[in-house]
Structure 1
């Protein structure tokens, strides 16, 4: 059944030019897992007949039940290409055997952290788009992530069988439908273009677009047809390719090609006449059971049917005929091998994004050259639960060197700082395995350029880490991943049976390991809090927690709560002052809102503690209108040293100021983590230190005096600057037919949503509605939407931005004040906000 052995696989692992690491990314329900099946079938892991129905990469039970992918799954496939297939291959290669490490990732937006983890360890991406639905919101998100990681995309336009069977499009309409999909994908790619990657847009005439029907297992690129016609008419293949797309028309009466339609009935577009019509004709013959016409045609095309297959009828016959004539796997494979980079090529330009240290040290150059003899550099992007309860495989990619069974490695966690001992472990790898969908195969060692899973490191890695050889003390870690969604929905979990508490604590640790995104914390009141990206993500996490990680112990779950942020609306109405407990030191402070877009720039790491101070002050003065000297006086960002708030020193000629800097920063850390109104994080606040009066004696201005004073003065400054709440907002994209639009609007209005775009989808009766919806109102949104529209509307929710709650939380009776009181009640605080007089002192 399986057409390759582990030894064959291991042999190719050393040929770095013959490896392709790729992920399959797309919007939910566009057919990633189904399309992946045809690749798996071609490698002989599942039978061709069932490909498309098995969804080999959906390994969990709930994935099969819901029909969606939840966790990204890796699988290594071995292919041997024929000499004919490789005759136009220009790149470097060693022999005809290729190894493809494929990762199928989820399309549902709640799981986009899984996509990030998959993209980090791959070099190419197969972007799957439904030809009828077109490029959707999640397609754009994952494409943006891919290009951010410098992963090269190729496009698969999927579900083309719908054009023939369901929509019955004529050739010109079909061409325009496909062209629209390719164009909108290219628009997204052009928006996030990276000059180092070069031209990343996809072109059917260059072979970087495949047209597939994943469920039926057939597909083609224009190369297939160009080869067929080139040998038939004796024309050059490349010339033929260019004529099969775009404005190229063939007039069968004059036997001439033109680039404009001549207006006669005999003149047809190259794609329509030479690609679409032959397929349409064969499909019609299969569906209408005209066998006497069908068999001679198939013989001409060189398609041989087995004797048992000739008795099939209609759809089953069509599926077999099309699979034999245009197998999806060979079209996709050729596209991947020709147009996706090998690790040897990709790591040359990815090293800047990957490596955190200097780009001229031996580790960076080993990654750049993908050097198997260099020092080991391996990034673990996710932890996969093993079948024996409680153990995890560390799954990642070797960027340089090789990892072997029994090797001692240095594990650098996400909080590791070079030269420090924090978050650093030295342990040996018990086993190295390669991942094969539902099963794993043990190998002795894995060289660079490949994906690998390791046993025995799970106690030391929480979510991701960098591994290197034990003696390589100078290595810097590989950069941590940036997720496009943030965990904004939380629930509190308690045990029904108090004796299960140890199980719950252990279960939460394992849950935090198994999911790249989920955050498990303990609140001040002693509750266990789980934060996730959205409702579905939360549901899956809670199911995993109870069933897999707690052996079925029951837990009670609170209603979901949403994290808010605190901000200010205008500059403080006066300079506030706080005195230290010993009355010898005074701090004067003002707060003001940051300029538009500055908080987002800090989130995106364009400005922040890691950016070169010269560049930082340049960006601040040019883009945000800061004074150049002021931009050099930023003391810190926060919370956690990198958040979207900052402290700026505007003092003139103050003695001993530098000595209290650390204490003020510590006070700022406390204040920005839990604001004065609702104990939520602050966002978008810039604090200016106006003046400081300090005692001349160092003992009277130590941390114990300054830290609490600084915290009080930050709170006082916030409360005098018209404080406001910020709530997280989802971007909702809904696809629905015209007659239910009224229902959609009424549900959105009830939930404080507002629609900002409504577009009719060309060629379909569907509308695309885009709206903003506060996360607080999003619970049970899907259910009310389905009830109102009779199940015809499909929403997708993505975290988009933070929005200011318009009312004043300090005025009793406003919605914001009620919200603050509710948050404070949940956190076990007094319902009234602590008054300003508690924080501000008079001279």
Structure 2
């Protein structure tokens, strides 16, 4: 590092490190990097560590089967995964879609847990929304070819047995991001549990084409982008906007570059400024039971809202508790871990939004006639309302809605979905607004490495951006400090460049989504910070800036 090359060359000779003539011209950090790469290459060290320390599939699957398989752990499929059985039924998990060199098609890349997959074989594809016993998200198709990836190239093979990774051609039209594959006649197989990501797509941009005639290319490009990156979420808003949601500013930048250059052939795009997703929640139990009447005034729905217990929303996000669980197991977890009443824990109707989100509907009614007939309509109204909350039409989070009582018309024709779904939605909004509604903002965990002289600049930038440091540790044997801080995602745009400017480029930040944090001010109070955020979101979505008043949702007897 001190350019004392006369001492360096004899040392390298003793270590048997030989450098190319062009590498000998290097100096300082690039020279040190090249010497270390030649002397201790990371590839061979990592490969050796993998060989010595990572368990083989036959060993690992024995104790990992309970985390992998969603069905009963004593059926033939679980046993085949447990024993890594090449003669058992095929169980294959596709974890990602890899774009093919011709840009038009995708390889379905995954791992064979049991059985073997062969070229020309018919397989049963169970998508992420597949429910055992139903036909939704289920396909039976042929695998055209099987390949093994070897670095950047792939080798075609006839078949791939369990314990190996495989890439398949011909399935990309039926798999969006992930799926479970089994033999076509294995109708009672359950899917392998989908991967959970530690980050959430909380930063969004709207994209549009400069030339209107390129719109079909944009739609097709977004579909292919969603396939190629398991983290990105592409949606179309009611206003017709095409939205791309990513984990952060840099992730979105990469996604937009891929979309424009790889999937759309260089078509010019108009990209909006990045916006942040918020969540809506409640602070306490509803101050009263609210009532909404159906459009024909013959049905009444009484509801209350309350916040979910601490840690329950996170448990639902992580998949510890969910709609696919055995109701007995779920009620046991709710009563033992979260202090729910045992009878109440058995009466969970659904989760939402998207049937898996961190909000719940619970039935508190006693002796109500025809209740089972309107359950599906109430659930549909809840899915609609929890996806578009009363404050700013953002997703709800951490709210439990209790159906306290229901008064229904005796004739089935007067209590159909058209009457009950909008009533349930209005009752849910009214319950939310009577339970001290609040806004949640996403927060990054930021790790910064910097020398001591840069600490002042780091603290001042974090203070400007509403961040706060919760850990500062000096790395042993170095002049560097490791700083951990929380930073609101809203304030994170341009954070890296501001930090580098304040520390003369000596601080290196890394951001990852960590949690949702409640904004302390009341969104219903005029001129509060949260009310300003709500007004901005509503304006962006083309809604009235004022929150719809409670009287619009609640009816009087």
Task: Answer yes or no: same fold by TM over 0.5.
Answer: yes
Is the contact made by 2:439 and 2:518 (CA closer than 8 Å) also made in structure 1?
yes
Query: Take 2:513 and 2:31, find their aligned partners in 1: how far apart are those partners?
Result: 45
Which residue does the alignment assign to 1:543?
257
* Alignment counterpart, residue 561 of structure 1, candidates 261, 275, 278: 275
* Alignment counterpart, residue 212 of structure 2, candidates 498, 503, 525: 498
Deviation at 1:286, TM superposition (A): 7.0
Query: Take 1:653 and 1:419, find their aligned partners in 2: how far apart are those partners?
Result: 31
Query: Take 2:34 and 2:270, find their aligned partners in 1: how far apart are those partners?
Result: 51
Query: Take 1:592 and 1:563, find their aligned partners in 2: how far apart are those partners?
Result: 22
Deviations 1:181-224 (CA, angstroms, capped at 9, x unpaired): xxxxxxxxxxxxxxxxxxxxxxxxxxxxxxxxxxxxxxxxxxxx
**What is the number of residues matched between the two proteins?**
553
Indicate how the Cα distance of structure 1 residues 447 and 568 shifts in structure 2: closer, same or farther if over 3 A, else same: same
Higher relative contact order (CA 8 A, sep 6+): 2
Gap regions ≥5 residues in structure 2: none
* Alignment counterpart, residue 588 of structure 1, candidates 302, 311, 315: 302
Deviations 1:425-471 (CA, angstroms, capped at 9, x unpaired): 22222222221222222222222211111122211111111222222
| Consecutive aligned runs of 4 or more in structure 1 exceeding 6 Å deviation | 305-309, 312-330
Which residue does the alignment assign to 2:447?
733
Indicate how the Cα distance of structure 1 residues 398 and 500 shifts in structure 2: closer, same or farther if over 3 A, else same: same
Query: The residue matched to 1:471 in structure 2 has which SS?
Result: coil
Find out whether 1:630 has 2:337 as its counterpart.
Answer: no
Query: Take 1:750 and 1:306, find their aligned partners in 2: how far apart are those partners?
Result: 50
Is the contact made by 2:19 and 2:35 (CA closer than 8 Å) also made in structure 1?
no
Query: Take 1:577 and 1:438, find their aligned partners in 2: how far apart are those partners?
Result: 61
Deviation at 1:802, TM superposition (A): 0.7
Which residue does the alignment assign to 1:229?
none
Deviation at 1:801, TM superposition (A): 0.7
Is the contact made by 1:286 and 1:314 (CA closer than 8 Å) also made in structure 2?
no
Which residue does the alignment assign to 1:771?
485
Give 1:410-489 correspondences, 5 Å limit.
Answer: 410-489=124-203
Give the TM-score, by structure 2 length: 0.92
Query: The residue matched to 1:289 in structure 2 has which SS?
Result: helix
* Alignment counterpart, residue 618 of structure 1, candidates 332, 344, 356: 332
Give 1:33-432 correspondences, 5 Å limit.
Answer: 287=8, 289=10, 333-432=47-146
Is the contact made by 2:335 and 2:345 (CA closer than 8 Å) also made in structure 1?
yes
Query: Take 1:695 and 1:682, find their aligned partners in 2: how far apart are those partners?
Result: 31
Query: The residue matched to 2:10 in structure 1 has which SS?
Result: coil
Find out whether 1:818 has 2:539 as its counterpart.
Answer: no
Deviations 1:306-328 (CA, angstroms, capped at 9, x unpaired): 9999xx89999999999999887
Deviation at 1:652, TM superposition (A): 3.0
* Alignment counterpart, residue 690 of structure 1, candidates 388, 397, 404: 404
Give the TM-score, by structure 1 length: 0.62
Query: The residue matched to 1:529 in structure 2 has which SS?
Result: strand
Which residue does the alignment assign to 2:390?
676
Query: Take 1:321 and 1:785, find their aligned partners in 2: how far apart are those partners?
Result: 31
Query: Take 1:807 and 1:653, find their aligned partners in 2: how far apart are those partners?
Result: 41
Query: Take 1:318 and 1:733, find their aligned partners in 2: how far apart are those partners?
Result: 26
Gap regions ≥5 residues in structure 1: 1-164, 167-283
Give 1:642-721 correspondences, 5 Å limit.
Answer: 642-721=356-435
Indicate how the Cα distance of structure 1 residues 334 and 747 shifts in structure 2: closer, same or farther if over 3 A, else same: closer
Deviations 1:244-295 (CA, angstroms, capped at 9, x unpaired): xxxxxxxxxxxxxxxxxxxxxxxxxxxxxxxxxxxxxxxx99726279xx76
Deviation at 1:422, TM superposition (A): 1.8
Is the contact made by 1:286 and 1:313 (CA closer than 8 Å) also made in structure 2?
no
Deviation at 1:395, TM superposition (A): 1.1
Indicate how the Cα distance of structure 1 residues 544 and 307 shifts in structure 2: closer, same or farther if over 3 A, else same: closer
Indicate how the Cα distance of structure 1 residues 695 and 738 shifts in structure 2: closer, same or farther if over 3 A, else same: same
Is the contact made by 1:286 and 1:318 (CA closer than 8 Å) also made in structure 2?
no
Deviations 1:580-621 (CA, angstroms, capped at 9, x unpaired): 112122111111122222211222222332333333333333
Deviations 1:114-143 (CA, angstroms, capped at 9, x unpaired): xxxxxxxxxxxxxxxxxxxxxxxxxxxxxx
Find out whether 1:805 has 2:519 as its counterpart.
Answer: yes
Is the contact made by 1:289 and 1:314 (CA closer than 8 Å) also made in structure 2?
no
Is the contact made by 1:396 and 1:452 (CA closer than 8 Å) also made in structure 2?
yes
Indicate how the Cα distance of structure 1 residues 450 and 722 shifts in structure 2: closer, same or farther if over 3 A, else same: same
Indicate how the Cα distance of structure 1 residues 395 and 286 shifts in structure 2: closer, same or farther if over 3 A, else same: farther
Query: The residue matched to 1:682 in structure 2 has which SS?
Result: coil
Deviation at 1:806, TM superposition (A): 1.2
Is the contact made by 1:462 and 1:513 (CA closer than 8 Å) also made in structure 2?
yes
Find out whether 1:762 has 2:483 as its counterpart.
Answer: no
